[in-house]
Structures are given as C-alpha cells and as structure tokens.
Structure 1
C-alpha cells in the first residue's frame, strides 16, 4: 500500500479543532468524495480510499452536496418504466 505524508500546520489543526488523526481521516474522505464526484473513482474504490464501507460512503455524499447516483436524462428514461 502506498503512503502519502502531508504536513498540516498546527494552527490549522487548532482552528479546525481536530487531532492530526481526525484531520487525516477527514482529508481522506474529502479526497475520496471529490474523486468520485469527478468520475475518477467508482463508489467502491472511493469508499476504500476513505477507509469506510461503501454504504457509509454513499450516505456521506449528501454531506458534501454530491449526488449519490449520476444518471443522464437518457439513462433515467431507460430506468423509469412508462405508465
């Protein structure tokens, strides 16, 4: 597994009122959400990056204003039965 080290100024941790560990978890989740939003990761891969189950990841998307499912109007029409 790859590892990335990120230096966060102490003032930022104080301002955010988080520990370095909490900050790391929040940054992993934020990165996973953004990569999912722009289509670089599937929801499953993004959940792995965030270190949480896929169902939990999908539920957290709303906290970031990201749609859980992305359907084009064409795809939506295909999925919606006609009355």
Structure 2
C-alpha cells in the first residue's frame, strides 16, 4: 500500500481513522475500490465498513439508476 501524508489545519477536527474512512467510502462510491478493498484501507472488517457507509452518505448498493431502469425494462 502507498502511504500518503495529509496536512490539515489545527482547527480541523478529524482524526486519522475518520479521514481514512472518508477516503475509503468515497473510493468505494466511485467504484474504484470493492467493499473489501475499502474496508482494508479503512482498517476495519468488511462487515463494519458496510454497516458504517450510511454515516458517510454512501449506499452499499453501488448500482447506477440507469442500469436499474434498463434491468426493469428488460425483465
């Protein structure tokens, strides 16, 4: 894994775990990481990651609405 260093203002109230979780959730939402990869990045189990996604406004169902509409039409 790569190591990144991020400098944030002292007034910004965030710890390392929270920042990592935000990054993992966003990368999962964008489809760049699987739920397992994102959980590993966040340093938590896959189950905990999935249970926590809602706190970051990310759905576990990473499925575009357009694909769902096509599936319904084809059903």
Report the TM-score when normalising by structure 1. 0.70
The structure 1 segments of at least 4 consecutive aligned residues displaced by more than 3 Å after TM superposition are none
The within-5 A match list for 1:48-63 is 48-63=40-55
Q: Which of 1 and 2 has higher RCO (CA within 8 Å, sep 6+)?
A: 2
1:32 aligns with one of 24, 28, 48: 24
Of structures 1 and 2, the larger Rg is shown by 1
Structure 1 alignment gaps of length 5 or more = 79-83
Structure 2 alignment gaps of length 5 or more = none
1:45 aligns with one of 29, 37, 52: 37
Q: Deviations over 1:33-83 (max 9, x none)?
A: 0000010100000001111000000001111121112344228x87xxxxx
- Cα RMSD (Å): 2.1
